[in-house]
Amino acid sequence: MDHLDRRILSVLVEDGRASFADLGRAVGISRGQARERVQRLVGEGVIEQFSVIINPEKINTGFSTFVDLCVHAQHIEAVADELARCQEVVSLYVMSDLKSLHIHTLTEDSDEFLRFAKQHFFGRPEILSVDSKNLLRRIKNRRGGVRL
């Protein structure tokens, strides 16, 4: 991957719908060269997918909660797999201590989050602790993955 590939990726991070012609103009190459490079980046797995970023408040899921869950280490994979299937969970990470999950949920309101928490966290002996915090205000938002 060279400097031109990094520039292409930066353009796509900002606008994943950019046409090959627009992409080529932005980085100073032809439409055909832009298409070939993007296809190669997809083929090599550098670009994993093209996706849409949805404003959660516009679809009534603007209640954003970050949860740090401590789980018995032998149960971390099972709990993570279960939570990954929940529509409320928008991101989920196993942390370096191998017993913590960092989870971001989006729900309609606090009552819906509480229902989710009761169903998935409460009364489970494999879950050692739950620490949750609600988002008050977004200052900076990561869009499109890694910054190059």
In terms of domains, do 72 and 127 share one? Answer: yes
In terms of domains, do 34 and 90 share one? Answer: no
In terms of domains, do 32 and 69 share one? Answer: no
pLDDT at 12: 92
> Is 117 part of any domain?
yes
86-116 as b/e: b if 16+ CB within 10 A: eebbeebeeeeeebbbebebbbeeeebbeeb
pLDDT at 137: 84
| Res. 38: pLDDT tops 90 | yes
* Domains in the chain, number: 2
- The CATH number that applies at residue 130 is 3.30.70.920
Q: In percent, how much of the chain has pLDDT > 70?
A: 91
In terms of domains, do 63 and 97 share one? Answer: yes
The 10s digit of each residue's pLDDT in 40-83 is 999 999 999 887 777 767 776 679 999 999 999 999 999 999 99
Q: Token digits for 42?
A: 């997809």
